[in-house]
């Protein structure tokens, strides 16, 4: 029986190539993958669609994955619920959108002034984070996988300039995750809106400012057209993570080879997604500047207030939730070590590099 190579690349091990075409054709299974982000949206929508296409191709259709973008089959923030309850078999989203039911999921997107994208991936893969993640999601019939990162995110677009902390008082802002709690502590009223509602809310004045992701995705939404003052970075998303989830009972029904394929595809797309954001954020920022945008950092008094509020929000977060309390200790211990290492290594490298190039 001939064996066919379905995908190239180191991410796919030999086990991913052991399913022969005639055998899998007799056992075709259709899986629905629901996403939070719009179909075709740069990075985020493409990632979910790529997982669906590549799992289908790598199994020669034995697992045929049908992709549904945000809002097409389930509400954008209802991905985890849909997979958990059986409306879909797979999902692609940011973990913190499930925090209303799975509080500990917040640690796997980002905590305020938390881990960078690389640090978060490292902690999940090598620091025990995956085992804790499995434990947190298990009771909800979910199997979670790291699906990459949108990297360090921008602080937001505002209709008026922010020259001091006083300028933040009373503003209404779209902001996700624990960013809302942080902003409220410094005098900003916050609301979380799905992707498709951000531009019209900012345009109409429902909100005075909005953060979404970073230059690549923010440019795609056209936020500069209605709020020209762009500030960065975001205190609450220093390396925001994405996840791909599989309903646990479905996962357990996969053959060993199918499990290898699915996990390998998700891992490969995770790396593709992170790389895409790393490159395209750079390109998009230059395009925004060419279009007249002047990116800025927040004033010092705003940064100080955000830092104080961030630590307070993070330290209080796990209270009363057993799983969050279990994750919090190992996460913060590694975070502090990473901050120390990063300050000496990458942080100083960035500063020295800018100095060398006169930027």
Whole-number average pLDDT of the chain: 93
Q: Which pLDDT value is given to residue 12?
A: 33
Which of 218, 199, 209, 223 is closest to 172 using CA atoms?
A: 209
Using alpha carbons, list the distances in angstroms from residue 341 to 68, 128, 349: 41, 19, 12
Rounded to an integer, the average pLDDT of 268-295 is 98
Rounded to an integer, the average pLDDT of 253-272 is 98
Q: Which pLDDT value is given to residue 139?
A: 98
Confidence band, pLDDT 50/70/90 cuts, at residue 26 = low
Please tell me what DSSP assigns to residue 105.
G
Report the SS3 class of residue 70. Answer: coil
Which of 137, 146, 150, 127 is closest to 265 using CA atoms?
A: 146
Q: Which pLDDT value is given to residue 17?
A: 34
Q: Which helix (H) or strand (E) holds 253?
A: helix 248-253
**184-230 confidence digits (pLDDT tens):** 999 999 999 999 999 999 999 999 999 999 999 999 999 999 999 99
Please tell me what DSSP assigns to residue 84.
H
Residue 4 has pLDDT above 90, yes or no: no
Q: Which pLDDT value is given to residue 27?
A: 78
Residue 6 has pLDDT above 80, yes or no: no
Q: What percent of the chain has pLDDT over 70?
A: 93
- Please tell me the pTM assigned to this model: 0.91
Q: Which helix (H) or strand (E) holds 232?
A: strand 229-232
A 10 A CB-CB count for 130 gives 16
Q: Which pLDDT value is given to residue 16?
A: 37
Rounded to an integer, the average pLDDT of 114-143 is 98
More confident residue, 11 or 252: 252
Rounded to an integer, the average pLDDT of 172-180 is 97
β 229-232/29-35 pair status: unpaired
With contact defined as beta carbons under 8 Å apart, do 324 and 104 qualify?
yes
Q: 322-344 and 129-137 helices cross at what angle (nearest 10)? A: 150
Residue 7 has pLDDT above 70, yes or no: no
Which of 131, 132, 125, 126 is closest to 147 using CA atoms?
A: 125
| Beta-bridge mates of residue 68 | 34
Rounded to an integer, the average pLDDT of 36-55 is 97
**295-322 confidence digits (pLDDT tens):** 999 999 999 999 999 999 999 999 999 9
| Beta-bridge mates of residue 246 | 90, 143
Rounded CA-CA distance 98/52 in Å is 22
Residue 11 has pLDDT above 60, yes or no: no
Rounded to an integer, the average pLDDT of 147-173 is 98
Rounded CA-CA distance 332/320 in Å is 17
Confidence band, pLDDT 50/70/90 cuts, at residue 179 = very high
Confidence band, pLDDT 50/70/90 cuts, at residue 19 = very low
Residue 22 has pLDDT above 80, yes or no: no
Q: Which pLDDT value is given to residue 285?
A: 98
With contact defined as beta carbons under 8 Å apart, do 7 and 57 qualify?
yes
């Amino acid at each position: 029986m001939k064996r066919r190579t379905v995908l190239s690349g180191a991410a796919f091990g030999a086990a991913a190539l052991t399913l022969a075409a005639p055998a899998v054709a007799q056992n075709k299974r259709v899986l629905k993958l629901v996403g939070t982000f719009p179909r075709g949206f740069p990075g985020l929508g493409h990632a979910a669609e790529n997982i669906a296409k590549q799992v289908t191709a790598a199994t020669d259709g034995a697992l045929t994955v049908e992709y549904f973008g945000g809002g097409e089959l389930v509400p954008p923030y209802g991905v985890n619920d849909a997979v958990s309850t059986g409306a879909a078999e797979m999902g692609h989203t940011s973990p913190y959108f499930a925090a209303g039911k799975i509080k500990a999921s917040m640690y796997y997107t980002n905590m305020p002034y938390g881990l960078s994208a690389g640090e978060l991936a490292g902690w999940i893969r090598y620091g025990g984070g995956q085992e804790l993640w499995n434990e947190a999601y298990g009771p909800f019939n979910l199997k979670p996988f790291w699906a990459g990162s949108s990297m360090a995110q921008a602080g937001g677009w505002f209709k008026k300039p922010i020259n001091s902390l006083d300028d933040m008082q009373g503003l209404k802002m779209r902001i996700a995750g624990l960013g809302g709690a942080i902003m409220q502590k410094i005098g900003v009223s916050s609301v979380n809106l799905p992707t498709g509602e951000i531009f019209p809310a900012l345009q109409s004045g429902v909100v005075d400012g909005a953060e979404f992701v970073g230059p690549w995705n923010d440019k795609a939404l056209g936020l500069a057209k209605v709020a020209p003052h762009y500030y960065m970075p975001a205190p609450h998303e220093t390396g925001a993570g994405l996840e791909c989830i599989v309903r646990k009972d479905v996962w357990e029904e996969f053959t060993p080879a199918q499990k290898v394929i699915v996990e390998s595809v998700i891992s490969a797309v995770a790396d593709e997604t992170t790389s895409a954001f790393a490159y395209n954020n750079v390109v998009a920022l230059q395009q925004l500047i060419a279009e007249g945008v002047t990116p800025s950092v927040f004033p010092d008094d705003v940064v100080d207030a955000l830092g104080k509020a961030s630590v307070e929000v993070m330290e209080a977060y796990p209270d009363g939730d057993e799983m969050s309390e279990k994750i919090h200790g190992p996460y913060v211990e590694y975070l502090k070590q990473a901050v120390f290492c990063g300050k000496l290594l990458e942080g100083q490298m960035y500063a020295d590099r800018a100095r060398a190039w006169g930027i």
